[in-house]
Structure 1
Amino acid sequence: MHRRRRTALLLSAAIAAAAPLLTACGNDAHPGAAAVVGGERITVSQLENRVNEVRAAQRAASTDQTQYQQVVAQSSALTRNTLNGMVLEKVLDQALKDVGVTVTRKEVQQYRSDLEENAGGAEALEVAYLQRYNVAPEQLEESLRSDVEVQKLSTALGADLNTPEGGTVFWQALSEASKKLDVDLNPRYGSWGVDQSGRVGLVEAKTPWLREVTGTGTQESA
């Protein structure tokens, strides 16, 4: 499962020196918004619901309160990371639209079936994604769809994600899509930016569904 996952998990939001794309939101124009992407609001409530789903799943998977608290400590940046992923999902959708690529439900189901077989069943896959990527079972389908989208986008771009050159092409497509969507981020969660290498994301945040950059040694933080 890990090798298949590496292809999809290209993006890293561990951006140490990013330039903000836009001024941040959270003002009277967008009350209650965690971010506005392409004119569409990601509300604070939607963000909190996702975070709560993960915490509930982590609690259910913990043997006791002590273990749960350890898990929480290890994923202390969950809210920012989750928002980063929610924005990047929309950026990825735009990038696919730009190259005329679509992803079908059948493709996602086949991908999930393959991963379940490799993981040892549906429950094992859910556990793996919760532990490794902080993806709750309720969010798994959407996360897997993003995996397939990354794979299809890289193919459409002719970008080999296992090479620096391919990564550059892929990041450039996402950078352009991000600019088109005019990402407007609530400053309480950080800044949305592009680093010197062209990587797009929430500054000093990480994504649960796009990690492990093709052997470049991206470090995880809690």
Structure 2
Amino acid sequence: MVRRRTAVSLAAAALVAMTPVISACGTPHAGAAAVVENETISVSDLQSQVNAVRTAQEKSPQSAALLEGTSKLSQMTLSRLVATRVLDRIAKDAGITVTRSETEQMRKGLESRYGGADGFLQTFGVAPSGADAFSRLQVEAAKIIVGLRLEPGSDGGNTALSQLIAKTAKTMKIDVNPRYGTWDARTGQLGDTKEPWLVPVAEAPVQGA
């Protein structure tokens, strides 16, 4: 069986209120899976990440279950890539940066918690080659919560971050290729994907933040 997250993901709460501008008739740039402001997420780059995950899954003893559990992998991956750029904007505006050492620390912590590189694959649908980028995202989210003194509340800052992401996303032009669905403001995902893209804040501590 594929290990599932038992805690509520930050993503589910953080993106539920997002209402970015979505193109109804296609992206403005050929070959784009999505365009966030003027930055293109190309179909080829997206497919490269998806292929890396599929290749790793096929090598796993649990390949059948992994493949079945990530049938919407393209949407899940694109959702994470788009959301990452919204968080990047928030961090830039707040003067928040992420160092290589912080990323490495986070990756080691997550690998320890979730069972190594294979744990990334099983739990988050992230190939070994994407572990650093995924870990950097976790550091950035945690530092935003701490650095901007977002109200932690009972959910560790999830609701406050959700409101900030929604506010920021409304100021950004986000176009998604209809091939991958449209942004669902109720779930903060593309189409009907349900996979979260951030670990719970309590599971992603950042020293010195």
Give the TM-score of the pair, scaled to structure 2: 0.79
Q: What's the counterpart of residue 54 of structure 1? A: 53
Aligned residues: 198
Identity of aligned residues (%): 38
Distance 1:6 1:157, change over 3 A: farther
1:191 equivalent in alignment to 2:179: no
1-side partners of 2:31 and 2:78: how far apart? 14
**Paired residues of 1:8 and 1:210 also in contact (CA < 8 A):** no
1:177 equivalent in alignment to 2:179: no
Q: Deviations over 1:155-190 (max 9, x none)?
A: 123235562593222112111222233111111212
The one-letter amino acid paired with 1:73 is E
Q: What's the counterpart of residue 89 of structure 2? A: 94
Q: What's the counterpart of residue 190 of structure 2? A: 202
1-side partners of 2:181 and 2:169: how far apart? 16
The one-letter amino acid paired with 1:206 is K
Superposition deviation, residue 87 in structure 1: 0.6
Provide the alpha-carbon RMSD of the alignment.
3.2
Q: Deviations over 1:24-45 (max 9, x none)?
A: 3535x31111100021111111
Distance 1:102 1:18, change over 3 A: closer
Q: What's the counterpart of residue 126 of structure 1? A: 117
Deviates more, 1:98-107 or 1:145-154: 98-107
1-side partners of 2:13 and 2:177: how far apart? 17
Q: State the secondary structure of the residue aligned to 1:35.
A: strand
Superposition deviation, residue 115 in structure 1: 3.7
1:151 equivalent in alignment to 2:151: no
**Paired residues of 1:193 and 1:202 also in contact (CA < 8 A):** yes
Superposition deviation, residue 11 in structure 1: 1.0
The one-letter amino acid paired with 1:202 is L
Q: State the secondary structure of the residue aligned to 2:40.
A: strand
Superposition deviation, residue 69 in structure 1: 3.2
Q: What's the counterpart of residue 154 of structure 2? A: 163
Give the TM-score of the pair, scaled to structure 1: 0.75
Distance 1:144 1:8, change over 3 A: farther
Q: State the secondary structure of the residue aligned to 1:206.
A: coil
